[in-house]
Structure 1
Amino acid sequence: MNDYIQFWIQHTPIFSILIPAFTAFILVLLGNPGSGSLAHDWRQPWRRAISYTSSALGLFTAVNYLIFASSGQVSVYNLSEWAAPFGIVLVLDQLSAFMLVLTYSIAVPIMWYASKEWDERGRYFHAMFHFLLMGLCGAFLTGDLFNLFVFFEILLMASYVLLIHGQGRARFQLGIHYVTINLLASALFLIGLGIIYGSVGSLNMADVARLIPLLEPDQHRLAVAGGLLLFIVFGIKAAMLPVGFWLPKTYAVATTPVAAIFTIMTKVGIYAILRVNGTVFDDELSRSILQNLLLPIGLITSVYGAICAVGAERLRRFVGFMILSSIGTILIAISLFNTQAWAAALYYLVHSTLIAAAFYLLSGWITSQRGEFKDHFKIAPQIKQHKVVSITYFIIALMMAGLPPFSGFFGKVFLLQATAQSPYQLVIIITVLVVSLLSIIAFTRVGFILFWRSTKPEVDPKKPEYAKYQALPEVAPKRNDHAIYILLSALVLYVVFANPIYQYISNTATQIQNNALYEATFLKKDEHGEFISVQPFDAKNLPETKYGGETVDPNAHLIPYVISKETLNGEHISEYKKRQILEQDIQEDHPEIDQLKPAEEP
């Protein structure tokens, strides 16, 4: 048992990536006959069972990670045993564990709901769902900027397929727009990474944070420019204005479970802004630029979302605009750059994700019982479950508008408390209050149209409206209402345990601002006590591979400090490299000895 525990501890951060990855591959290999045959396919129960098991195991793993991280420990996993900054590392800290629990807390009930008929409307739904989880978990766990790009691409490719799940002209059309926008963002991401690597010489987050203040003025400005390019990319992912107009329409055409799980994807962009722009680019110039940008962007995004929600013509777009407004509120908190404000941002982030997912599920419930009126804001006959639906809508409205005693209210109170030392306190308070008022007006308008002004159903069997109304479902789509209740119950518990949760996220906000902790945890030191790094970038330092010939490596003497002895003595380290390490060590003691040269070809 001790061996298993040690194995778990040693490989802890990577399990959250491997579980959905292996699940997705197994589901792909299981095959898929097509959407028309899935309902009768003998493999469909197996797909669901595998997907259930993997999701539950992922949630269990995430909770274990949260318990581990709550003590303040930071766990680093060196892939292939190469330490940073030469190797790619995964990091498990309080923030990444917190985001993993949020991801699986929303994924498990949505997967359970989608596995009742929704997964039969398109091919490879379960496989793509788990590829999406793989990308999300990897993005939250990686400590390398390029690896962050890789996991972004994984989750985006899965989201492209999920967006058009169920087919349809509108989904395909907006899917093309969604892909185009994200391809542009990916190109900007790569350009930004290239600028940062060219000026800093590293892409490891802790190493970049350490090196930026040490750069020459020209290199420093170039690195900051690269960081701002990444900020634009993350802003597109987070759907902040002026690069977030795509969200309401795109999410409105997705199927109900897909739209619900997509609510976590915008939070990946916010997480990246917090993790990268908020802590990696922590020098005075980067911080001042980011503060000057984030606050007005947050204020405008919050107000814009609330105003558009008042004038929305469809329920799903209404939800999308409310998500935009909540994103603006989170960005306002991040722009304050203090521990209390970041804790408020994290608290509100969880609330906004869960309530938005519940609202999309409710939209699916309402749409199913309105027939040809769907989710349009038009006067329609009273839905058959109008009492339970209207009560559920009322609860969601109170939560999302930020009224007491629900989690949205607590999140906004935490934010307002954090503005005590801000010169923009009055502007922020007024904006938050105005947005809350606009949200109440918007929810009142929608509830008035959907429920209060609904007409009596036709009772004359001879009229065609009677047959249409009788054909509508008597109850909610299977598991739809139960999935909503699970999410709302989670939000109630979120309020009940607000004190320990807020203590945890306060510690999280403090931890992620401690760059010295991450440097000491990520990076190795040489015999002189200096951090091992290569800076600035030198194109002459070509990498050497086992089969790539013999190349002089001026940094060979650092290799024993960044890999284990077993790897150093293994077959993948060439004999030439080992001799180079040995002779460079000798040269430090005897500089009169000539530098090692590659062996001459026969």
Structure 2
Amino acid sequence: MNAVIQFWTEHSPIFSILIPAFTAFLLVILGNPGAGALSGDWRQPWRRGISYVSSILGLATAIVYLISASSGQISTYNLGEWSAPFGIVLVLDQLSALMIVLTYALATPILWFASHEWDIRGRYFHAMFHFLLMGLCGAFLTGDLFNLFVFFEILLMASYVLLVHGQGKARFQLGIHYVTINLLASALFLIGLGIIYGSVGSLNMADVARLIPLLEPDQHKLAVAGGLLLFVVFGIKAAMLPVGFWLPKTYAVATTPVAAIFTIMTKMGIYAILRVNGTIFEDDLSHSILANWLLPIGLITSLYGAIGAIGAERLRRFVGFMILSSIGTILIAISLFNTLAWAAALYYLVHSTLIGAAFYLLSGWITSQRGVFKDHFNIAPQMKQHKVVSLVFFLIALMMAGLPPFSGFLGKVFILQATSHSPYQLMIIVVVLIVSLLSIIAFTRIGFVLFWRATTPEDNATTDEFKIYQALPEQSPARNDKTIYLLLSGLIVYMVCASPIQRYMFNTAEQIQNNALYEGIILHKDALNQVISVQPYNPENLPETKYGGESVDPNAHLIPYLIPKETLEGEHISEYKQRQIEEQNMQKAVHPDDAKLKPREP
């Protein structure tokens, strides 16, 4: 048992990546026939079973992460046994644990819902779903900017396939737009990383945060420019204006479970803004530029989403605009750059993700009961389950518009409380209240069309209208209603437990603002208590650890700080290199200045 606990302690941060990764590869190897043959394929129960087990295991792992991180502990995992900043490191802190729990808390019920009918409408649904989870978890855990790009690409490639799942002209057309936008964002991401690496000399998040204040003025401005370019990229992912117009139409054409799980993807962009632009680039220049732009962007995005919802002609697009509005509200909180505001942003982020997913699921339920009218805001015959559907719609409207006593209201109250020391307090309060009012008007409008003005169904059995109406389903699509109830129940629990949850959010916001804490845990120091890093970057200053190692390396004494003891004593480090390490350690004990980095001779 002790061995199991020790193994978990040493390797736990990577399990949330490996579980969906191995699941996805196993599902690909299992094979997949054409969509038309999936319902009768003998492997389909195996796909669903493997997918269920993996999702539940991932959720259990995420909960363990949350419990472990709640004490304030930060766990790290060095990939390839190379220490940061030379190797890639995974970092499990309170923020990453929160986001992984949110991901699996949303993914598990949606996967259960999708596994009854939706997963047979296209190939490799389960495999792509778990590749998406792998990308999300990896992005939340990585402590390296380039690795963040890698995991972004993994989740995006999976999302490309999931968006067109079920086929259709509209999905294909908007899928092309979605891919084009994200390819452009990926290109900008790489350019931004190149600028940061060229000016800072590192892509490790803790190391970049440490080095930016030490840069020369020209290099510093170049690094800030790279950081702002990443802000644009993250803004595209988060769908903030003016780079977020794509969201309402794109999510509207996705299948119901795909649209629901996609609500977590915009929060990936929010997470990246908070993690990278909010904490790594904490210098005065970055903060002043970001604060000047982020607040107006948040205000405009929030207002635009509410106004767009009023003018929407379809329910799914209405949901997209409401999600856009919630993104603006979160950005407003982040722009305040104080611990209380960031805690409020995190609380509201969880709420907006779950309620957005529940609303997309309700859209699928309503669409199935309106026949040819689908989700268009046209007067149609009364739905067969109009009482229960209207009640669920009313509850979602109260939560999403931010009315008391639900979590949306509490989240906005927390945000408004955090504006007490902001010079823009009055403007923020006015905009938040106006957005809430516009949201209520928008919900009233569509509730009036869908329920209040619904016509009496045709009762003449000889008419075609009667036959069409009778052919409509008597119940919601399988598992649709139960999944909505589960998400809404979770939000009610989230509201009831607001006090301890808010304390966790506050501690999380405090933790991610403490760059010195991350530097002390992630980066290693030598015998002189200096961080082992390179500034400015010069490849000749890196210690050589290749096979053989028969060349003179003046930095050999740093090797024990970069790799584990087991690797140091293994066959990869030659006897010649071992002697160099011992000789230099003896020499620096007499002459401490010899411990400084020195370039190797060609």
Q: TM-score range by the shorter chain?
A: over 0.9
Match of 2:122 in 1: 122
Q: Distance in 1 between matches of 2:526 and 2:405?
A: 55
Cα deviation, residue 545, structure 1 = 7.4
Cα deviation, residue 587, structure 1 = 6.3
Q: Distance in 1 between matches of 2:372 and 2:551?
A: 70
CA 1:445/1:335 → structure 2, altered by over 3 Å: closer, same or farther?
same
Q: Does 1:376 align with 2:376?
A: yes
Match of 2:162 in 1: 162
- Describe the SS at the equivalent of 1:460: coil
Flag structure 1 segments of 5+ consecutive residues without an equivalent.
Answer: none
Q: Distance in 2 between matches of 1:159 and 1:576?
A: 51
Counterparts in 2 of 1:151-550, with a 5 A limit? 151-538=151-538, 540=540, 546=546
- Describe the SS at the equivalent of 2:76: strand
Cα deviation, residue 470, structure 1 = 1.0
Match of 2:39 in 1: 39
CA contact (8 A) 2:212 2:283 kept: yes
CA contact (8 A) 2:543 2:555 kept: no
Q: Distance in 2 between matches of 1:69 and 1:466?
A: 59
Q: Distance in 2 between matches of 1:596 and 1:513?
A: 38
Q: Distance in 2 between matches of 1:159 and 1:474?
A: 33
AA of the residue aligned to 2:526? D
Cα deviation, residue 595, structure 1 = 9.3
After superposition, what is the alpha-carbon deviation per residue over 1:23-49, rounded to whole angstroms, capped at 9, x for unaligned? 111111111112111100001001111
Q: Distance in 2 between matches of 1:597 and 1:146?
A: 30
- Describe the SS at the equivalent of 1:37: helix
Q: Distance in 2 between matches of 1:417 and 1:542?
A: 49
CA contact (8 A) 2:297 2:328 kept: yes
- Describe the SS at the equivalent of 2:376: coil
CA contact (8 A) 2:547 2:572 kept: no
- Describe the SS at the equivalent of 1:91: strand
AA of the residue aligned to 1:125? F
After superposition, what is the alpha-carbon deviation per residue over 1:296-326, rounded to whole angstroms, capped at 9, x for unaligned? 0000000000000000000000000000000
Flag structure 2 segments of 5+ consecutive residues without an equivalent.
Answer: none
Q: Distance in 2 between matches of 1:363 and 1:574?
A: 65
CA contact (8 A) 1:542 1:553 kept: no
- Describe the SS at the equivalent of 1:77: strand
Q: Distance in 2 between matches of 1:383 and 1:548?
A: 76
AA of the residue aligned to 1:438? L
CA contact (8 A) 1:200 1:537 kept: yes
Counterparts in 2 of 1:38-77, with a 5 A limit? 38-77=38-77
CA contact (8 A) 1:544 1:550 kept: no
After superposition, what is the alpha-carbon deviation per residue over 1:533-577, rounded to whole angstroms, capped at 9, x for unaligned? 011122555896747997765544322112112111223345665
Q: Distance in 2 between matches of 1:221 and 1:552?
A: 37
Q: Distance in 2 between matches of 1:576 and 1:164?
A: 58
- Describe the SS at the equivalent of 2:87: coil
Cα deviation, residue 495, structure 1 = 0.6
Match of 1:100 in 2: 100
Match of 2:20 in 1: 20
- Describe the SS at the equivalent of 1:572: coil
After superposition, what is the alpha-carbon deviation per residue over 1:81-139, rounded to whole angstroms, capped at 9, x for unaligned? 21110111111111111111100110000000000010000000000000000000001
CA contact (8 A) 1:313 1:376 kept: yes
CA contact (8 A) 2:358 2:484 kept: yes
Q: Distance in 2 between matches of 1:354 and 1:44?
A: 28
CA contact (8 A) 2:162 2:258 kept: yes
- Describe the SS at the equivalent of 1:11: helix
AA of the residue aligned to 2:308? C
Cα deviation, residue 458, structure 1 = 1.1
Q: Distance in 1 between matches of 2:166 and 2:583?
A: 64
Cα deviation, residue 408, structure 1 = 0.2
- Describe the SS at the equivalent of 2:36: coil
Q: Distance in 2 between matches of 1:582 and 1:192?
A: 41
Match of 2:83 in 1: 83
AA of the residue aligned to 2:56? A
Q: Distance in 1 between matches of 2:162 and 2:327?
A: 23
Q: Distance in 1 between matches of 2:374 and 2:59?
A: 34
CA contact (8 A) 1:84 1:523 kept: yes
AA of the residue aligned to 2:199? S
Cα deviation, residue 582, structure 1 = 5.0
TM-score by length of 2: 0.96
CA 1:549/1:423 → structure 2, altered by over 3 Å: closer, same or farther?
same
TM-score by length of 1: 0.96
How many pairs align? 597
CA 1:304/1:21 → structure 2, altered by over 3 Å: closer, same or farther?
same
After superposition, what is the alpha-carbon deviation per residue over 1:315-369, rounded to whole angstroms, capped at 9, x for unaligned? 0000000000000000000000000000000000000000000000000000011
CA 1:527/1:42 → structure 2, altered by over 3 Å: closer, same or farther?
same
AA of the residue aligned to 2:208? V
CA contact (8 A) 2:543 2:558 kept: no
After superposition, what is the alpha-carbon deviation per residue over 1:437-476, rounded to whole angstroms, capped at 9, x for unaligned? 0000000000001111111111112211111111111100
Q: Distance in 2 between matches of 1:595 and 1:489?
A: 62
Q: Distance in 2 between matches of 1:287 and 1:316?
A: 36
CA 1:91/1:477 → structure 2, altered by over 3 Å: closer, same or farther?
same
CA 1:246/1:550 → structure 2, altered by over 3 Å: closer, same or farther?
farther
CA contact (8 A) 2:91 2:141 kept: yes
AA of the residue aligned to 1:401? A
Q: Distance in 1 between matches of 2:547 and 2:370?
A: 66
Q: Distance in 2 between matches of 1:595 and 1:437?
A: 64
After superposition, what is the alpha-carbon deviation per residue over 1:181-213, rounded to whole angstroms, capped at 9, x for unaligned? 111111111111111111111111111101100
AA of the residue aligned to 2:188? L
CA contact (8 A) 2:399 2:408 kept: yes
Match of 2:134 in 1: 134
Q: Distance in 2 between matches of 1:289 and 1:282?
A: 11
CA-atom RMSD in angstroms: 1.9
